[in-house]
Amino acid sequence: MSHDLGPGYIAEGRNPHVPSEKVVIYDAAEAEIDVDEKYAIVCDSHQSVTSEAFLSDARADMEAPEGFCSGCRGLVLHGYSAKERG
């Protein structure tokens, strides 16, 4: 699914743990996502959301969603992550 037409869309990347899904960065205010920082990072697989003040940090979260998404972290911990299986 591509999000590039949605309000506040900045970037998306393939979820390394669920390759059929995306992790997406939005400008939180434009996308009307209620978070504390400027950028909202959303795991499409598990509907987890975090936020960052800097785009570089948001991109790091996008590349490693297990850092904020408990669902992705569970996949890693239980050996079900596509990334961990190679």
Give me the tens of pLDDT residue by residue for the chain, a chain 86 residues long.
456 668 999 999 999 999 999 999 999 999 999 999 999 999 999 999 999 999 999 999 999 999 999 999 999 998 887 765 55
Q: Residue 36 to residues 6, 33, 41, 50, 59: CA-CA distances in angstroms? A: 20, 10, 12, 9, 17
Cα separation, 28 vs 74, in Å, equals 26
Residue 84 has what pLDDT?
57
Q: What is d(CA 83, CA 75) in angstroms, rounded to the nearest whole number?
A: 10
Q: Which residue ranges make up each domain of the chain?
A: 9-85
**Cα angle value 44/50/56 (rounded, 5°):** 100
